[in-house]
Amino acid sequence: MIRSMRPVIVAGNWKMHSTPADAGELARVIASRTRAPGVTRVICPPFVCLAAVRDAVVGEDVAVGAQDVHHDRQGAFTGDIAAAMLEGLATWAIVGHSERRRYHHETNEMVGEKAHRALEAGLRPILCVGEDLEVREAGAHVAEALVTDQVVHALALNPGAVAAGLVIAYEPVWAIGTGRSASGADAGAMAAAIRRAFRQVPEAGDGDAVPILYGGSVTAANADQFFAEPEIDGALVGGASLKPDEMAGIVARAALTAAARGLAG
């Protein structure tokens, strides 16, 4: 698939922010201010806010996503949420976010299983991969090897993942909250490495067809350099996704990419 055929996606990850009392209004404002032809919009609020956001964006062509799913179908896992429990609440799910890998010690195998459960339940997974500062400082080849390993582990459990709707988000953990910044070229190079990783697991699908998002402190001010990269197909937005002005700016820039790809008609 040529890049002009890949969708342009902007997904907002609200993390542990908002409550059922205010999430609906925030989602409504963001949805109304980010209408743009050719851009797929997704809002991922906390679990307790899924219903409020779902109801708030009815008729807005905005998808709702969960921030995580458990790697088992069901069981004695207090406080966890199985993918099947999200039926009617969400159609997307983030798996393997860097904060989950770091603070909840999620392994590549667990993340692959989470992606599998999401696909099994009809959810479109956003698989997050990325390297930390120590790995980045060891050299680009070391960073690419680690990210490739993350991708391959996930794909091995998910034949046909691309056709089923897999999306990958590259998070340069070394550039989040460290005072360092990733460039569009950094993101583009890693996205190309991610596509090459699919050659190791051909049954997962065509790496050129999978949408790859950039997920490292995206703002309206820096989005252009990432969306200009031919290997990048949108953004997974963190803190800025809680700010309607920022989201409006990011989606407006994404719309330019969608128009250039002929997706805005």
Nearest CA to 2 out of 199, 264, 263, 265 is that of: 263
Q: Is 71 a catalytic residue?
A: no
Residues 6 or more apart whose CB falls under 8 angstroms from that of 234 comprise: 7, 8, 9, 10, 11, 39, 40, 211, 213, 214, 227, 254, 257
Gap between the Cα atoms of 210 and 228, Å rounded: 17
**Cβ atoms within 10 Å of 47's Cβ, excluding its own:** 14
Residue position matching structure tokens 């988000």: 169
Contacts within 8 Å (CB) and 24+ apart, 54-57: 54/88, 54/89, 54/90, 55/24, 56/23, 56/24, 56/25, 56/27, 56/28, 56/31, 57/27, 57/28, 57/31
Give the residue ranges of DSSP H helices in the chain.
23-33, 50-56, 98-103, 108-120, 133-137, 140-156, 184-197, 223-227, 244-260
Active-site residue identified among 171, 229, 231, 246: 171
Q: Is 97 a catalytic residue?
A: yes
CB 254 within 8 A of CB 8: yes
Gap between the Cα atoms of 213 and 232, Å rounded: 6
Gap between the Cα atoms of 50 and 235, Å rounded: 21
Q: Which two tokens stand for residue 114?
A: 């989470």
Active-site residue identified among 70, 97, 116, 153: 97
Catalytic residues: 97, 171
